[in-house]
Amino acid sequence: MEQEDTLIEIAVSVDSEAAEAVSELFNRYNGGSYAADSAEGEASGGGAVIEATGFDDFGQPIAGQFRLTVKTYIKPGRRGAQIRRQIEEGLWHLSQIYPIPEPQIRTLRQEDWAHAWKKFYKPLRVGRRLVLKPSWEAFQPQPDDLVIELEPGMAFGTGLHPTTRLCLAALEEHIQPGDAVLDVGTGSGVLAIAAARLGARFIVATDIDPLAIQATRENLTRNGLDGLPDLEVDVRQGSVPDGLTGRFQVVVANILAEVLVGLLDGTYGNVPLAVPLATGGHLILSGILAEKDAMVLQAAARHGLQLVDRKQEEDWVALVVQKAT
Ligand SMILES: C[S@@+](CC[C@H](N)C(=O)[O-])C[C@H]1O[C@@H](n2cnc3c(N)ncnc32)[C@H](O)[C@@H]1O
């Protein structure tokens, strides 16, 4: 019988495509928030955590060594046992479609869990000037470096995932000093902080997950971005914000292809994603598996957005589209 202060970790090492399917499974059965206790006082939630390992000193994946491990953490108890069962069955079904090995299951003390993934996370250079620095690591920046200090907590956005790195590279290319930037699905706030470092002066960061909002607020403070006279950052729970038509020179959304299509068409909220984008502005769409980019591009075209760049890392694609002038 597991103790109350323990968590069950389920970990599966897979390729990028299977990682998306396994993450969806973990989020479906073990999504939500640890704060949202059930009637019996048992928390569920946590969703999926993706760890990537096997990078060289320049942050490039090393052939044969690069691996993705998708993990989820379950509280023991009656509800936890049910979640574990659903996940094990779901993994069995997925293993009929994708090459998925036997899941590694172990019991962790909660304290260990909070720190378990940290050993893989080192300072990481992305693009020309951006450096992602875990808050617990020492790092000596070069004069031109733009350092983003992060403690992602439960939120997505360490920079370990290609989809985040593709967005960071695109932000570096498209943000001009003084721009207004909208970050939909901010996770840890990594892209919003990058936008501030690159010179954006009005930033709105949204996420449907309250844990992401909390992590983003903490990371903004950690990076000294609170209360600056020449910077306004607005962190809101939600999706595409209302009342900001044509306000942003750059909009970024790193979510899955299916969600991006829903956001573009306005079926996942009241405001279609192109509405807050300024005329001539750039929309960066990431989190797209290569075989799904046509679907996202078609949705973008329906809203007057034209492709200006396509970036790819492994199986993941980011599209940069522009609102016609
Ligand atoms: C893949 S993470 C991206 C995090 C971070 N922006 C990055 O690039 O690393 C996607 C985030 O989008 C959020 N999300 C999912 N659907 C959303 C929606 N419809 N509107 C806003 N945020 C959403 C999730 O909660 C999650 O934090």
Ligand 1: nearest atom to the Cα of 269? 19
Are residue 108 and residue 138 in the same domain, yes or no?
A: no
In a domain, 233, yes or no: yes
Are residue 113 and residue 134 in the same domain, yes or no?
A: no
- Inform me whether the pLDDT recorded for 28 exceeds 70: yes
Ligand 1: nearest atom to the Cα of 183? 6
In a domain, 232, yes or no: yes
In a domain, 303, yes or no: yes
- Inform me whether the pLDDT recorded for 98 exceeds 90: no
Q: Quick one: pLDDT band at residue 112, thresholds 50, 70, 90?
A: low
Q: Are 290 and 296 in contact (CB under 8 A)?
A: no
Are residue 148 and residue 278 in the same domain, yes or no?
A: yes
Token pair for residue 72? 């989820």
- The percentage of residues in the chain with a pLDDT greater than 70, rounded to a whole number, is 87
Ligand 1: nearest atom to the Cα of 256? 1
Instruction: Indicate which CATH number applies to the domain containing 319.
Output: 3.40.50.150
Q: Quick one: pLDDT band at residue 42, thresholds 50, 70, 90?
A: very low
Domain count, the chain: 2
Q: Are 49 and 72 in contact (CB under 8 A)?
A: yes
Residue nearest to atom 24 of ligand 1 (CA): 185
Average pLDDT of the residues in 240-256: 96
Distance linking the first and last C-alpha atoms of the chain: 64
**Residue at a domain's end among 75, 96, 119:** 119
For 226-231, the CB contacts below 8 A with 24+ separation are 230/201, 231/196, 231/200, 231/201, 231/202, 231/203
In a domain, 1, yes or no: no
**Residue at a domain's end among 101, 119, 137:** 119
**Residue at a domain's end among 104, 119, 134:** 119
Q: Would you state the pLDDT for residue 274?
A: 98
User: Which parts are annotated binding residues for S-adenosyl-L-methionine?
Assistant: 164, 185, 207, 254
Residue nearest to atom 23 of ligand 1 (CA): 185
Print the domain residue range for 227: 121-323
Q: Quick one: pLDDT band at residue 37, thresholds 50, 70, 90?
A: very low
**Is ligand 1 within 6 A of the CB of residue 187?**
yes
